[in-house]
A and B are shown apart, each in its own frame.
Chain A
Amino acid sequence: MSTFSTCTLNARPDSPANGDVLFETDTNNVIVYDGTAWRGYASDLETLGANGFSLDLDGTDDRVEIGNVTVLNSSSAFSLTCWIKSSATIIDTFDIFSGGDGYANGIYLYLTPTGLDFGVGTSYGRYSTALNDGSWKHLAAVYNGSSFAVYINGSPVSISTTNTPPASTVATAGNGSHIASRVDDTREFNGKMDDFAIFNSALTASEVSNIYSGNLYPTTKLSHLYKFENNYNDSKGSLNGTAQGNPTFDSSDKPY
């Protein structure tokens, strides 16, 4: 195995030789000097998260509406990741994401009093350890057309699956999508949230780990990213969110 010498974007060698190859540790790109200029070969991974603010949701009617997430329609694989924090009592559910009709013809990810459910239609995977302990947690929910996987803080966790997962979502599964509430404007999330991401395919374990530990996103799989940096903008796609209720941004309590 070869090991490249390293540099950073702003500290490339001043007098390179033709054919020099380096790895840029801050961009994760490989660069090659062609005799006149450096040529970069981009990594699929990009550091995208930001941590100036988190989103603070009051659990009554605060939510972010993001419209029709087309990559979730008729999809045979997708993933959702985010940071969450809640110490509130969960009487029913705290919805993290809901699309379509939010159940039989939709997609859902929510906290329950005893853990988390992640589902497509009437099939769902259930993680059965309560997550509302007041600490920041990174969640990844992965669907691959035949099974569900859930990761907590970058590691896979055991889930039980009810009903056989469908081969794909329905054609309207991404319609009217909400972050932090069910699509019918109930079951709002009570707590904080950050870096909500939607991927167009199933993340691997290493990709989830990279997002959790290094904030490194596989850009070819990433479709939408809401950093909640004092706004509801989609920093990857074009589905900027609209806040309802009046969530606030917290600059003092953030996941990393």
Chain B
Amino acid sequence: MDRKYVILNWDEIDSVDFDQVMETEASKVRKSVDGTKFFVKFEGDVPSFLEGKTIYSHSEILTILATDEWTDPNPPSE
């Protein structure tokens, strides 16, 4: 089954129902480099708390995550 992905602003983290997405808890979601955004993923029907949000396919989210906004181009210690 195809996975779908939704990017949210960090101030929406409390709205996430982790029973309806594949991530398990707020501390384990992948955030953007500046920490202002994160994403969740799901299969099947759109979780109610994500209705109206932009939904990305696997290939679309991979393209987004490869940008500097989501992947720091520098090694961790630099």
Contacts and interface: CB of A to CB of B under 8 A. Distances in A.
Interface of A: 58-61, 88, 91-92, 101-106, 182-188, 190, 244-246
A245 B21 CA distance: 9
A186 to B, nearest CB: 5
A184 B4 CA distance: 23
Q: Which DSSP category, helix, strand, loop or mixed, fits chain A's interface?
A: loop
Contacts of B62: 59-60, 88, 190
A60 B61 contact: yes
Nearest to B68: A92
A61 B62 CA distance: 10
Given A59-B62, A61-B23, A103-B76, A244 B28 contact: yes
A7 to B, nearest CB: 49
Q: For A58, A88, A182, which residue has the most chain B Cβ atoms within 10 angstroms? A: A58
Interface residues of B, number: 24
B77 A104 contact: yes
Given A60-B39, A61-B30, A245 B5 contact: no
Nearest to A185: B30
Contacts of A105: 77
25 contacts: A60-B39, A61-B23, A61-B29, A61-B30, A101-B76, A102-B75, A103-B75, A103-B78, A104-B75, A104-B77, A105-B77, A106-B76, A183-B76, A184-B72, A184-B76, A185-B30, A185-B31, A186-B65, A186-B71, A186-B72, A187-B71, A188-B30, A190-B62, A245-B23, A246-B23
Interface of B: 3, 5, 22-24, 28-31, 39, 41, 58, 61-62, 65-66, 70-73, 75-78
A103 B71 contact: no
A171 B67 CA distance: 33
Q: For A61, A91, A106, which residue has the most chain B Cβ atoms within 10 angstroms? A: A61
B70 A186 contact: yes
A244 B78 contact: no
Contacts of A245: 22-23, 30, 41
A179 to B, nearest CB: 15
Contacts of A186: 30, 65, 70-72
| Nearest 7 Cβ contacts at the A-B interface | A246-B22, A104-B77, A103-B75, A91-B66, A61-B30, A102-B76, A103-B76
A60 B4 CA distance: 11
Contacts of B72: 184, 186
B5 to A, nearest CB: 7
